[in-house]
Amino acid sequence: MIDSRKYVVAFAITAVIFSTAIFVSNIFSQKKLEDVRTIENRVALDILSSETQFALLEETSCRDIGPGFLSTELGSLGEKLVYAENQTELNTADFEYLKRSYFLLEIKDYLLMKRLTEKCGIKPTFILYFYSTEDICEECERIGYVLTALRDKYPDLRVYSFDYHFDLGAISTLVSIYKVKSDLPALIINGETYYGFYSIEKLEETVPALRELAKKAKALEASATSSLKTD
Amino acid sequence: MAEIQTLILYCSLFISLFFEVFLLITYLEVREEITLETKYVGKDVKRFPTVTIIVPCFNEEHTVNKTIKSILNLDYPKDKLSIITVDDGSTDKTIRELKRFEKHPQVSILLKKNGGKHTALNLALEKVGSDLVGCLDADSFVNSDALRKIVPFFDDLSIMAVTPSIKVHEPKSILQYLQKIEYSWGIFLRRMLSSLRALYVTPGPFSIFRTKVFRELGGYAEGHQTEDLEMALRLQKNRYKIVNSHGAHVYTVAPKGLKALYKQRVRWTYGFLNNAIDYREMFFNRKYGHIGIFILPIATSSIFSTLYIASSAVWGNLSRALDALTRFETVGLDWKFSLSSFDWFFISTGIIPFLTISSVILALVMLYLGIKLAEGKVKLTRGVFYYLAIYLFIVPLWLTKAVFSTIFKRQINWR
Q: Which residues of A touch B289 (CB under 8 A)?
A: 1-2
Q: Which pLDDT belongs to residue B292? A: 95
pLDDT for residue A52: 79
**Cβ neighbours for B196, distance < 8 A, ≥ 6 positions apart:** B26, B289, B290, B291, B295
For residue B71, CA distances in Å to A139, B57, B117, B145 come to: 68, 15, 19, 10
Within chain A, strands assigned E span: 126-131, 158-163, 186-189, 192-195
Is there a domain that residue B90 lies in?
A: yes
Contact A6 B355 (CB under 8 A): no
Distances (CA, A) of B128 to B53, B113, B147: 9, 20, 18
Whole-angstrom distance, CA of residue B349 vs CA of residue A32: 10
**Banded model confidence at residue B415, pLDDT cuts 50, 70, 90:** low
Q: Please report how many Cα atoms fall inside a 13 Å half-sphere around the Cα of residue A226, on the Cβ side.
A: 6
Which of A:50-79 have CB within 8 Å of B?
none
Average pLDDT over chain B, rounded to whole?
91
Least confident of A52-61, A147-156, B108-117: A52-61
pLDDT tens readout for residues B180-205: 999 999 999 999 999 999 999 999 89
What are the beta bridge partners of residue B142? B250
The amino acid at B12 = S
Query: Which band of pLDDT confidence, cut at 50, 70 and 90, is reported for residue B3?
Result: confident
Q: Among partner residues A35, A87, A145, which is closest to B350 by beta-carbon distance?
A: A87
Q: Judge whether B224 and B230 are in contact, CB under 8 Å.
A: yes
Is residue B42 domain-resident? no
Nearest CA in chain A to B3: A88
Half-sphere exposure of A206 (CA within 13 A, CB side): 18
A123-231 is a CATH 3.40.30.10 domain: yes
**Which of B21, B293, B334 is facing A13, going by the closest CB pair?**
B21
pLDDT, average across residues A13-17:
96
Number of domains in chain B: 1
- Name the strands in the sheet holding A126-131, side by side, starting at the edge strand that comes first in the sequence: A158-163, A126-131, A186-189, A192-195
Q: How many residues does chain B have?
A: 415
Q: B363 vs A121, which has greater pLDDT? A: B363
CB distance from A83 to chain B under 8 Å? yes
Residue A218 has pLDDT above 90, yes or no: no
Residue A11 confidence (pLDDT): 96
When pLDDT is cut at 50, 70 and 90, the band that residue A221 belongs to is low
Residue type, B236: Q
Which of A6, A33, A133 is the best residue to mutate to test the B interface, defined by the most B CB atoms within 10 Å of its own CB? Answer: A6
Q: Report residue A214's pLDDT band, with 50, 70 and 90 as the boundaries.
A: low
So where are chain A's domains?
Answer: 7-119, 123-231
Indicate the residue of A89, A141, A152 with minimum beta-carbon distance to B336: A152
Residues of B in contact with A20 (CB under 8 A): 354
Quick one: closest CA in B to A149, which residue?
B331
Q: Look at chain A and count its residues.
A: 231
Write out pLDDT tens, residues B322-339: 888 888 888 877 655 544
What pairing do the DSSP bridges indicate for beta strands A186-189 and A192-195? antiparallel
Characterise A121 by phi-psi region: left (phi > 0), alpha (psi -120 to 50), beta (else). Answer: left
Q: Tell me the mean pLDDT in the region A28-57.
A: 82
| Residues B409, B88: Cα–Cα separation, whole Å | 26
The angle subtended at Cα B197 by Cα B124 and Cα B208, nearest 5°, is 20
How far is it, in rounded angstroms, from Cα B249 to Cα B165?
5
Distances (CA, A) of A2 to B20, B69, B103: 18, 43, 52
- Band the pLDDT of A231: cuts 50, 70, 90: low
Per-residue CA distances from A184 to A138, A157, A187, B10 (Å): 10, 21, 9, 36
Cβ burial A116-131 (10 Å sphere, 16+ → b, else e): beeeeeeebbbbbbbb
Which helix or strand (DSSP H or E) is residue A169 part of? Answer: helix A169-177
Measured CA to CA in angstroms, residue B54 lies from B65, B92, B160 at distances of 14, 20, 17
What integer pLDDT is reported at residue A19 of this predicted model? 94
Confidence of residue A141 (pLDDT cuts 50, 70, 90): confident
CATH classification at residue B113? 3.90.550.10
Cβ contacts from A onto B, under 8 A: 78
Instruction: Look up the domain containing B56 and give its range.
Output: 47-257
In a domain, B1, yes or no: no
Task: Tell whether B281 is covered by a domain.
Answer: no
**What residues 234-263 of chain B have any CB closer than 8 A to a CB of chain A?**
none
Pick B18's closest partner by Cβ from A1, A11, A199. A11
- Comparing C-alpha atoms, which of B232, B200, B194, B227 is closest to residue B213? B232
pLDDT band at A64 (very low <50, low <70, confident <90, very high): low
For residue A146, the one-letter residue type is V
Instruction: Report pTM.
Output: 0.82
Verify whether the Cβ–Cβ distance A1 to B289 is below 8 Å.
Answer: yes
Euclidean distance between CA atoms A155 and B339, whole angstroms: 20
| Separation CA B85–CA B110 (nearest Å) | 6
The backbone torsions φ and ψ at residue B86, rounded to the nearest 5 degrees and listed phi first, read -125, 120
As a whole number, the mean pLDDT across chain A is 81
Closest CA to A85 of A163, A180, A175, A160: A163
pLDDT tier, B383 (very low <50, low <70, confident <90, very high otherwise): confident
Interval B170-175 mean pLDDT: 93
- Give the span between the Cα atoms of B298 and B311, in whole angstroms: 19
> What is the pLDDT confidence band of residue B250, given thresholds at 50, 70 and 90?
very high
Is a pLDDT exceeding 60 seen at residue B308? yes
Which of A133-142, A211-220, B289-298 is least confident?
A211-220
Q: Span A150-167, mean pLDDT?
A: 85
Question: pLDDT by residue (tens digit) across B107-157?
Answer: 999 999 999 999 999 999 999 999 999 999 999 999 999 999 999 999 999
Max avg pLDDT among A84-93, A203-212, B310-319, B352-361: B352-361
Any residues with CB less than 8 A from the CB of B205 and at least 6 apart, and which?
B135, B136, B137, B140, B164, B166, B250, B252
Confirm whether B263 is domain-assigned: no
